[in-house]
């Protein structure tokens, strides 16, 4: 009697179980390896997502200026490193509440234009001969004349060369005194008009020193080196520095100061250009710090308690002063940004806009002091009610935190008639600095910083006072008394 080939049923079942167990263990090992690989891939993808989110925030946040929206940024080094949406990081310069106009340049449709009358000609040139293109004949003895007045300038532009013979005197006290003339600079051989043109070319026309040197040679037939251009701007800044210090002193005594700051590299290192704006002054101050110490250096350690600082959410302002006016333009713009992305924020944005509109209309009626106090109390209760609501989205919660951190500072303008609800004055003043930063990339030295902040301060201040900057610049460089604003 023969045995079965497969053995006993028990042994067969045991072999099958062993084989199944081995197969399951192999599958488990494979699954663990696949799981580990997937976790690594997810980690890498998550890191990439966070990097992309960080980059996206630079071009899609409520503080992104129009020039950078959609990723239209400049080259590295020009990015505003202060473009932060965090409450304690402040807001970027140039975030004006005034929307950019969509209208095309030029006069409005239906507007009747005017033509400037031509000046009286200094010379009349009569042209008698004409040429007929069909008959190819040269014609003379015209029947009449067509008059055209042409305005032009000679090139190179005529320059004057004046020699000053300055008398030397021996005083009875033993001093040797040299006579002075207001149009004869103490240093160098270029007069006040050339010095003024150099400063305007650099800080108004935004020309690099190389370009200015080329223009002087082309238009004035005066070859100048880059260093000479720089030295001329330094002499201008030295003459303007007392006026700069006077502007700073006036700002310290102001009841309302509008402040803002933005990045501006110095020798490749991050610095900050601050602006301080009043009704008649604009001060620029470049510093390596973005902290409250700068406010102490500019405004003094004992800035008047009843004076108001208008600012964004940057923490340095709260550290320095207690009476603030937070900028509603930033708040409303951020509310709109969040409302576009989260439905629960639409109501919040509408409430903030309506509140600001009501308060602005109330302020324009010039109400009494008691009415202002009552309105401020009611508006404060309204804001507190908004932040007590519950919101699910993290972005909306961040907006609520921004409002909460500013309680006590959003409504100063309601009881202070001379205070604006926005910080647009400072932001508009800072735009020119942003453009200069894009043009010049960096300031080179401490001396260059002083030249920059001095000349830009005086040009902006004269313009704010309604004065003509070229005229004022030429006057002070020529030693003549400046007209006050």
What pLDDT, on the 0 to 100 scale, is given for residue 30?
81
Whether the pLDDT of residue 107 is over 90: the answer is no
Between the alpha carbon of residue 14 and those of residues 5, 7, 8, 22, the distances in Å are 16, 11, 10, 12
What pLDDT, on the 0 to 100 scale, is given for residue 164?
92
What pLDDT, on the 0 to 100 scale, is given for residue 72?
47
Q: What is the mean pLDDT of residues 145-173?
A: 89
3-state SS record for the chain: CCCCCCCCHHHHHHHHHHHHHHHHHHHHHHHHHHHHHHHHHHHHHHHHHHHHHHHHHHHCCCCCCHHHHHHCCCCCCCCCCCCCCCHHHCCCCCCCCCCCCCCCCCCCCCCCCCCCCCCCCCCCCCCCCEEECCCCEEECCCCCCCCCCCCCCCCCCCCCCCCCCCCEEECCCCCEEECCCCCCCCCCCCCHHHHHHHHHHHHCCCCCHHHHHHHHHHHHCCCCCHHHHHHHHHHHHHHHHHHHHHHHHHHHCCCEEEEEEEECCECCECCEEEEEECCCCEEEEEECCCCHHHHHHHHCCCCCCCCEEEECCCHHHHHHCCCEEECHHHHHHHHHHHHCCCCHHHHHHHHHHHHHHHHHHHHHCCCCHHHHHHHHHHHHHHHHHHHHCCCCCHHHHHHHHHHHHCCCCCCHHHHCCCCCCCCHHHHHHHHHHHHHHHHHCCECCHHHHHHHHHHHHHHHHHHHCCCCHHHHHHHHHCCCCCCCC
For 480, residues 6+ apart whose C-beta sits below 8 A from its C-beta are 182
Whether the pLDDT of residue 410 is over 80: the answer is yes
Of residues 17 and 196, more confidently modeled: 196
Mean residue pLDDT of the chain comes to 86
**Helix 469-477 and helix 226-252, axial crossing angle in degrees, nearest 10:** 100
* Range name among 17-31, 111-125, 277-291 with the lowest pLDDT average: 17-31
What pLDDT, on the 0 to 100 scale, is given for residue 54?
72
Phi and psi, residue 169, nearest 5°: -125, 145
Residue pLDDT, tens place only, 62-105: 666 555 555 544 444 444 444 333 444 455 444 444 444 455 66
What pLDDT, on the 0 to 100 scale, is given for residue 28?
82
Domain extents in the chain: 177-233, 328-421
Alpha carbons 208 and 439: distance in angstroms, whole number? 8
Q: What is the mean pLDDT of residues 189-200?
A: 92
pLDDT band, residue 243 (cuts 50/70/90): very high
What pLDDT, on the 0 to 100 scale, is given for residue 103?
55
State pTM to two decimals.
0.77
What pLDDT, on the 0 to 100 scale, is given for residue 233?
95
Q: What is the mean pLDDT of residues 294-320?
A: 94
What pLDDT, on the 0 to 100 scale, is given for residue 403?
96
Residue pLDDT, tens place only, 441-475: 999 999 999 999 999 999 999 999 999 999 999 88
Residue pLDDT, tens place only, 357-392: 999 999 999 999 999 999 999 999 999 999 999 999
Whether the pLDDT of residue 281 is over 90: the answer is yes
Whether the pLDDT of residue 231 is over 90: the answer is yes
* Range name among 148-152, 306-310, 403-407 with the lowest pLDDT average: 148-152
Whether the pLDDT of residue 481 is over 80: the answer is no
Q: What is the mean pLDDT of residues 325-346?
A: 95
* Percent share of the chain, pLDDT over 90: 58
Where is mean pLDDT largest: 3-12, 259-268, 469-478? 259-268
Whether the pLDDT of residue 484 is over 50: the answer is no
Q: What is the mean pLDDT of residues 410-432?
A: 97
What pLDDT, on the 0 to 100 scale, is given for residue 116?
77
What pLDDT, on the 0 to 100 scale, is given for residue 156?
87
**Helix 469-477 and helix 192-203, axial crossing angle in degrees, nearest 10:** 140
Whether the pLDDT of residue 172 is over 70: the answer is yes
Of residues 319 and 188, more confidently modeled: 319
* Burial of residue 21 (number of CB atoms within 10 Å: 0-12, 13-18, 19+): exposed
Q: What is the mean pLDDT of residues 201-229?
A: 91
What sign has the CA pseudo-torsion 4, 5, 8, 12?
A: negative
Q: What is the mean pLDDT of residues 133-146?
A: 89
What pLDDT, on the 0 to 100 scale, is given for residue 26?
79
């Amino acid at each position: 009697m023969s045995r079965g080939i497969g053995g006993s049923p028990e042994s067969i079942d045991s072999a099958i179980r062993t084989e199944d167990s081995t197969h399951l263990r192999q599958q488990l090992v494979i699954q663990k390896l696949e799981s580990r690989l997937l976790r690594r891939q997810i980690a890498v993808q998550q890191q990439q997502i966070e990097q992309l989110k960080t980059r996206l925030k630079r071009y899609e946040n409520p503080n992104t200026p129009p020039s950078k929206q959609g990723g239209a940024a400049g080259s590295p080094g020009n990015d505003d490193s202060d473009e932060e949406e965090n409450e304690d990081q402040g807001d970027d310069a140039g975030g004006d509440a005034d929307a950019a106009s969509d209208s095309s340049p030029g006069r409005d449709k239906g507007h009747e234009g005017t033509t400037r009358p031509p000046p009286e000609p200094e010379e009349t040139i009569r042209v008698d001969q004409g040429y007929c293109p069909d008959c190819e004949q040269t014609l003379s003895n015209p029947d009449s004349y067509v008059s055209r007045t042409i305005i032009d300038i000679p090139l190179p532009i005529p320059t004057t060369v004046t020699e000053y013979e300055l008398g030397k005197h021996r005083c009875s006290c033993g001093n040797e005194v040299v006579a002075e003339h207001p149009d004869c600079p103490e240093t160098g051989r270029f007069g006040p008009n050339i010095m003024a043109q150099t400063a305007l070319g650099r800080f108004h026309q935004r020309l690099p020193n190389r370009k200015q040197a080329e223009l002087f040679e082309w238009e004035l037939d005066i070859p100048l080196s880059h260093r000479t251009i720089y030295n001329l701007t330094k002499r201008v800044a030295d003459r303007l520095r007392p006026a700069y210090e006077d502007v700073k002193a006036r700002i310290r005594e102001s009841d309302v100061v509008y402040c803002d700051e933005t990045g501006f590299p110095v020798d490749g290192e991050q610095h900050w250009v601050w602006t301080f704006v009043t009704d008649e002054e604009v001060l620029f101050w470049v510093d390596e710090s973005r902290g409250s110490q700068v406010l102490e250096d500019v405004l003094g350690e004992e800035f008047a308690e009843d004076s108001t600082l208008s600012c964004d959410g940057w923490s340095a302002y709260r550290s320095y002063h207690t009476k603030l006016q937070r900028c509603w333009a930033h708040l409303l713009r951020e509310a709109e940004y969040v409302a576009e992305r989260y439905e629960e924020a639409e109501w919040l944005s509408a409430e903030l806009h309506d509140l600001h509109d009501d308060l602005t209309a109330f302020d324009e009626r010039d109400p009494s002091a008691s009415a202002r106090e009552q309105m401020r109390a009611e508006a404060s209760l309204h804001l507190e009610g908004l932040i007590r609501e519950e919101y699910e989205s993290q972005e909306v919660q961040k907006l609520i935190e921004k409002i909460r951190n500013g309680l006590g500072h959003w409504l100063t303008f309601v009881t202070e008639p001379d205070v604006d609800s926005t910080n647009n004055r400072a932001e508009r003043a800072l735009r020119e600095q942003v453009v200069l930063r894009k043009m010049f990339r960096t300031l080179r030295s401490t001396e260059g910083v002083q030249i920059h902040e001095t000349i830009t301060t005086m040009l902006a201040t004269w313009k704010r006072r309604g004065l003509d900057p070229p005229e004022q610049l030429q006057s002070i460089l020529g030693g003549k008394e400046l007209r006050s604003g």
